Structure 1
């Protein structure tokens, strides 16, 4: 009986591994990703807060090729909360917090700092070299590994005041994290569990080689050496899931975490108009749902164009040729495309550094 159960579990694991985070159809192989009708529709919309255009690294690529980049398993859900819904949620939040205070259950909610957060904050300006450059995941659905490893890399540098300036290896997570699916995608909670419990090596030990879309096997030694990877591991000390759309959380908690500790990771729904993003504050307008994508949030701001639109500043992993030199802005405070529902942050473990 145990043998049968084990066989079923292995079969299930294999079947899951063969399924990419984004669903790719036969039509996707014949549909170009750059859609000039979508670009025109966005740019001629007087209500639009952003501009669309041709990102040259996607020129000539099909939707199938783009979907392979979307390695965060996410079903199409609610696009955003309306102003009326946000008011209702806020009232519910206040009522719950009042009830918590009345019964004295302080553990049910974290104490929010009373310090006023600035209207604009950019980790790149605050911590300079600690915020590492834009990278390119290429044709592998490794966004989950890139964004998680980059957040932890940045936070090691920030927490150590620049003393531990390490670029951690997304390839390590792609190849070795057995809880996830390599180039076929990964779960953010699994990724942070791995960083906390199994650790991750520097990029110099395990360079990125899965840009061709193939999940390379997990090595035992650093690239070109006999040095065991087990001797080069960095760890997350802890991690947490921050979702402002649960009553005990607030969007400000994400901001406070970034303000105090550095960038955070999130996953969101990607629609076809997003891949044509060039500038401004993105909100979904048109185009079909493509899949889920994981990225790094480095700050926030408010537009000074008279609209006062709040936004997040986000680092993508589609090279510096995409969007705003690899970055994009997306509307803040209404869970645009589920952007604020799956936020993760982690603490770097400075007490557990590899020996140099």
Structure 2
């Protein structure tokens, strides 16, 4: 009993000695540890750690849908894996791969990581001809309880299954109206003093409206779809083969308090950090830096965070569980009336205007042949 009390006292004393994870003192201490990465200020001094924790939007526990490990026939397991790979270079004409989105003050990382990878795969599957941005808002708002709790968290497996069963319309970042449904939650100042308000509260989940921002676009015809999703669990080479064959994947990882201050290098959690929650990101490649193998991941906390919105994490050790929950799926062009190049879809063939035009053409053709 006395020993237990002593241990608790030591732990409590240690906890008290650890400064706020967003403080300059914490950042300075991390950099003194001579790790494989460097820390720096990513959040304004007025932002509280309790606020940034809400950005971690993957719910704990197992999702109700358990995906099977199924490898598409296109993946050749005899393929030699290169030392380094970057999807931005392999598919350089796919703008979505290099785009960093901003989830703002909503725990929607599960939705963002998923739609970002879906957008990339639509472009890749079309031989880089279709620049389509899949809407995070449509997934976040309309998947509902199937995916989780909206801005209060969700699961990437359910997101990909929803793409297969219900479809997700086009749409990009806040006030980007080049698709069907743009993200409606305004950016907030994660990182610096600027024109936006600080991220000091969690946003409410947007309402599902099933209507495009531009009323001339048909919501149904703007749907994108995927085939039945699958997971790649635990095997480094399998994840690499999947990415280099079909494109970026969505992954869940454990987040420790020092990751919020990541700036450069290959991240490995320090003994100075504590577990905070679960997050989702998009793995776009891998490499080796100063003899440390890493995964290259796109985050969704805007381009001011980390290295222009990206970060590297230790590869091959399932560090922070990064290799345990990797989800992907292949695009299904069942709604194949896409207008490549502008991120939007052509008019719905079932719309009244289209039918009138079609009937008029048929009538004229019939009249000329009489």
Is TM (by shorter chain) over 0.5?
A: yes
Match of 2:351 in 1: none
After superposition, residues 99-114 of structure 1 pair within 5 angstroms as: 113-114=77-78
CA–CA separation in structure 1 for the residues paired with 2:211 and 2:41:
41
| 1:258-288 CA-partner distances (Å, limit 9, x unpaired) | 0111100001111110000000000010222
- Residue 241 of structure 1 corresponds to 231
- Which residue pairs with 2:40 in the alignment? 53
Q: Give the match for residue 311 of structure 1.
A: 294
Q: Given the alignment, which residue of 313, 323, 328 partners 1:340?
A: 323
State how many pairs are aligned. 285
Structure 1 unaligned segments of length 5 or more: list them: 1-30, 76-106, 245-249
TM-score calculated relative to the size of structure 2: 0.73
Between the aligned partners of 1:263 and 1:224, the Cα distance in structure 2 is: 30
TM-score normalized with structure 1 length: 0.76
Asked whether the equivalents of residues 23 and 45 of structure 2 are also in contact (C-alpha less than 8 Å), the reply is no
Q: Distance between the aligned counterparts of 2:44 and 2:229, measured in 1? A: 34
Cα distance in 2 for partners of 1:222, 1:112 equals 40
Tell me what 2:53 maps to: 67
**2:233/2:325 contact within 8 Å kept:** yes
The corresponding residue for 1:280 is 265
- Which of structure 1's runs of 4+ aligned residues deviate more than 3 A? none
Q: Are the aligned partners of 2:108 and 2:150 in contact in 1 as well (CA < 8 Å)?
A: yes
**Contact between 2:20 and 2:26, CA under 8 Å: does it hold in 1?**
no
After superposition, what is the alpha-carbon deviation per residue over 1:203-251, rounded to whole angstroms, capped at 9, x for unaligned? 121110134711111012101416442221000113111111xxxxx21
**Match for residue 264 of structure 1?**
249
Q: 205-214 or 229-238: which moved more?
A: 205-214
In 2 relative to 1, CA 67–232 (structure 1 residues): closer, same or farther, beyond 3 Å? same
What's 1:40 paired with?
A: 28
Q: How does 1:221-232 map to 2 (within 5 A)?
A: 221-225=211-215, 227-232=217-222
State the structure with more CA Rg: 2
| 1:100-157 deviation digits (Å, cap 9, x = unpaired) | xxxxxxx99x996112110000001111131141011110001111110010100000
Question: 2:166 is matched with which residue?
Answer: 198
CA distance in 2, matches of 1:145, 1:343: 14
Q: Does the CA contact (< 8 Å) of 1:123 and 1:262 recur in 2? A: yes
Match of 2:125 in 1: 159
Q: Name the CA shift for 1:233/1:310 in 2 (closer, same or farther; >3 Å).
A: same
User: In the alignment, does 2:126 pair up with 1:126?
Assistant: no
Contact 1:234 1:354 in 2 (8 A): no
Measure how far apart 1:63 and its partner are.
Answer: 1.6
- Write the deviation string for residues 317-353 of structure 1: whole angstroms up to 9, x where unpaired: 0000011100000000111111111101110112433
